[in-house]
Structure 1
Amino acid sequence: MQAHAIEVSQHREARFDELMGQMKSLQGQSLAAAIPRELYEPRLARGLLGFFTSYALWAGAIIGVALAPHPLLYIPLWLLSGLGGWGLHCIAHDCGHGSFSRSQRFNSVIGHLSLLPLVYPFHAWKHVHNLHHANTNSLEKDTDWRPVDSLTFQRMPLLDKLVYMGTRSVFFWMGTVHYWLVSGFRPGFFPQAKARAEVRRSMVYVVLFSAVFFPALVYATGWMGLLKYFVGPWLGIHAWFSTTTFMHHTTEDLPFLRQSDWSLMGSKLLLTTDYRYPKFLLFLTHNISIHAAHHVAPKVPFYNLLQAQEALKASFPGMLRERDFSSIPRELFRAVTRCHLYDPETGYYHSFIEKPGTAVETSTVVSS
């Protein structure tokens, strides 16, 4: 048993050293230069097709709930509506990066409209998401799914412990609900005065929308209508939101890095996992799973990401982490049962019930 533990530790060290070597090899390189310039050009008609498709799916599934002959159909319809709402979030994602259109004012309008089903102030999400892009998988600075070590966990207040434990395990699908609560309505979260002003303005839009929409919905459908036609679809969106973002940056063999090991170029290309979705799901989620290319070049519109990804694979062979869609259930199960706490000894994860340095061997990365 001890010999196996030593072998596992040595293998981890070799894998970590390989990652560090790849990160060093990318220093000083312009990753975005590998992507043809024409792929950065937005096509407004194509973007609007995605926007209206997702709104139609979100609203159509809610109408399906109203017409459903049995309550057992509610959950699949909420998930279907959630898929439409998640697609809208992905449209807002492009708007936040300025890749939906050349007009930043129009990007802001579409971004606000796209996030209304989530009741999420657009600029609050935009600014916190940009922090994630600037610090992807940085142990000290990333804002998305950043783990804590066991000592930090032990010192956390009880409520924070429960939230952390839940969103890292059985309630992973509600992780972005907590994200929304923490960052969506806190202008003081952002250091720049301009960002705080934009967040306050977005909050006003959301409050005005809510002041009209929710009383009207309750008046027309009752409190059960609020549950059926808003809360259910809203949780459906968060289920897609949480699962997708969790799987992009949380796997047993994808470390969060201390600032001394972390690099901006390396984080863009090496520290995300892309899943090969079927074509229909790529269309409905607006290529959100083609994530490495997005991190390298956020200004590339969603419908050009596949070509951008191929260009990166040609220029940096073997460096992109891609896995088949069929592997998601297995990888998700491993993530929610084992990717809990940061292990300072290895840079990787261990579960709540394991001690640092004792986690079993991780799965193999599939790259292409």
Structure 2
Amino acid sequence: MGAGGRMSVPPSSAKVESDVLKRAPDSKPPFTLGQIKKAIPPHCFQRSVLRSFSYVAHDLIIASLFYYVATNYFHLLPHPLSYVAWPIYWAVQGCVLTGVWVIAHECGHHAFSDYQLLDDIVGLVLHSCLLVPYFSWKHSHRRHHSNTGSLDRDEVFVPKKKSGIRWYSKYLNNPLGRFLTITITLTLGWPLYLAFNVSGRPYDRFACHYDPYGPIYNDRERVEIFISDAGILAVTYGLYRLAVAKGLGWVLCVYGGPLLVVNAFLVLITYLQHTHPSLPHYDSSEWDWLKGALATVDRDYGILNKVFHNITDTHVAHHLFSMMPHYHAMEATKVIKPILGDYYQYDGTPIYKATWRETKECIYVHPDEDDDKQKNKGVFWYRNKLD
């Protein structure tokens, strides 16, 4: 069994840690994608409009209830309690809206229904309401799935080689620096990625998710980027009108706080799915699609796994079959784990500990220096020594 199988019977804490950090295989898998797919029940690939919309309705109803309570009862609380109530609202509402974001993500993968137009309409509406340029992200995210684990062509959280790390990295390689890095990443990481392609694949000129003529997109995709921008502008104008009518403070409390939580989770989830001491990365000499797709890790967010529609603990299956609906991904994961064996990576480390550890251990990637006759020089592993 792979890491997931080993974690099913908890050994001592020391053994768990060493088991979790054990390197994943980097050789060509002894199975094919077709063999994996054949083991998954056929119904797992079936998309249901009604079932998919039931998750949309579920999340929006809960979000509406939280909104109703916050806007109708928080002002009745004794003054000091409101300072506690609003942050709680931001946290819980942000978690629910992260689930809404995940459903729009499903639409971008054509995993919501059998109708591409319906998927795009639902995805555009939901993502625009969260200030996400739907088509812009859809196309760059598709390229991420096509090139996962590739140091040359992957689109997001592409690790740097040692020669590419910034001069100031050594000054951040301490507890205070890591805390600052995590804080900036979770608060500004998502808008910086969209606007300036920070942490994304390097391009030969300025890349931006809002630029229809940027290097991220081809000529066939440019019209859709304009549509994404129009969706963002429409929602932004709506927020402006709300601020005029109810005040900027009201908009920031009701909408801005939860949105910060959504953005933080998007960055955190993506970062932890693709950043782990056990995961290999490949240059063009070693990379192939299946090895790259397996260079991901499932994580355990506790009750939030369900709130986030299991995007957190079924990510390996998602990278193998991105058009599979989220409500079948858990069943598929259980089936494929015995086939993947050691190629399946799971880490049950508490998320706050994992975030700190990965920020400390995964600074840059480098091939093993003691490989015989340049063997596996195209396989890169995370390192943290900056001397």
What TM-score do the two structures reach when normalised by structure 1?
Answer: 0.81
Q: Residue 226 of structure 2 aligns with which residue?
A: 200
Where in structure 2 are the equivalents of 1:1-368 lying within 5 Å? Answer: 19-21=25-27, 23-26=28-31, 30-66=35-71, 67-68=73-74, 69=77, 70-154=82-166, 169-174=182-187, 175-182=189-196, 183-187=208-212, 188-211=214-237, 213-268=238-293, 270-278=294-302, 280-289=303-312, 290-324=314-348, 327-345=350-368, 347-351=380-384, 354-355=385-386
Report % sequence identity. 23
Name the SS of the counterpart of 2:114 in structure 1. coil
Between the aligned partners of 2:48 and 2:232, the Cα distance in structure 1 is 28
Per-residue deviation, 1:239? 1.4
CA contact (8 A) 2:128 2:228 kept: no
Per-residue deviation, 1:312? 1.1
Name the SS of the counterpart of 2:346 in structure 1. strand
Is the alpha carbon distance of 1:100 and 1:218 closer, same or farther for their aligned partners in structure 2, counting shifts above 3 Å?
Answer: same
Between the aligned partners of 2:339 and 2:381, the Cα distance in structure 1 is 28
In the alignment, structure 2 segments of 5+ residues that lack a partner are 1-17, 169-176, 197-207, 370-379
Report the AA paired with residue 25 of structure 2.
Answer: L
Is the alpha carbon distance of 1:190 and 1:197 closer, same or farther for their aligned partners in structure 2, counting shifts above 3 Å?
Answer: farther
Name the SS of the counterpart of 1:170 in structure 2. helix
Is the alpha carbon distance of 1:314 and 1:348 closer, same or farther for their aligned partners in structure 2, counting shifts above 3 Å?
Answer: closer
CA contact (8 A) 1:282 1:288 kept: yes
Per-residue deviation, 1:237? 0.4
Between the aligned partners of 1:202 and 1:177, the Cα distance in structure 2 is 15
Report the AA paired with residue 100 of structure 2.
Answer: L
What TM-score do the two structures reach when normalised by structure 2?
Answer: 0.77
Per-residue deviation, 1:166? 8.5
CA contact (8 A) 2:136 2:210 kept: yes
Report the AA paired with residue 338 of structure 1.
Answer: E
Name the SS of the counterpart of 1:154 in structure 2. coil
Task: Write 1 or 2 for the structure with the bigger share of helix.
Answer: 1
Report the AA paired with residue 350 of structure 1.
Answer: R
Between the aligned partners of 1:228 and 1:193, the Cα distance in structure 2 is 40
Per-residue deviation, 1:155? 7.4
Q: Residue 7 of structure 1 aligns with which residue?
A: none
Name the SS of the counterpart of 1:55 in structure 2. helix
Between the aligned partners of 1:263 and 1:285, the Cα distance in structure 2 is 29
Is the alpha carbon distance of 1:56 and 1:181 closer, same or farther for their aligned partners in structure 2, counting shifts above 3 Å?
Answer: farther
Deviates most, 237-246 or 47-56: 47-56
1:271-321 CA distances to partner (integer Å, 9 max, x unpaired)? 11112454x533321110211111111111010001111221133333211
CA contact (8 A) 1:117 1:234 kept: no
Name the SS of the counterpart of 1:127 in structure 2. helix
Between the aligned partners of 2:352 and 2:166, the Cα distance in structure 1 is 30
Is the alpha carbon distance of 1:167 and 1:43 closer, same or farther for their aligned partners in structure 2, counting shifts above 3 Å?
Answer: farther
Is the alpha carbon distance of 1:318 and 1:153 closer, same or farther for their aligned partners in structure 2, counting shifts above 3 Å?
Answer: closer
Name the SS of the counterpart of 2:149 in structure 1. coil
Per-residue deviation, 1:165? 8.3
Per-residue deviation, 1:209? 2.9
Coordinate RMSD, CA, aligned: 2.6
Is the alpha carbon distance of 1:59 and 1:147 closer, same or farther for their aligned partners in structure 2, counting shifts above 3 Å?
Answer: farther
Report the AA paired with residue 334 of structure 2.
Answer: E
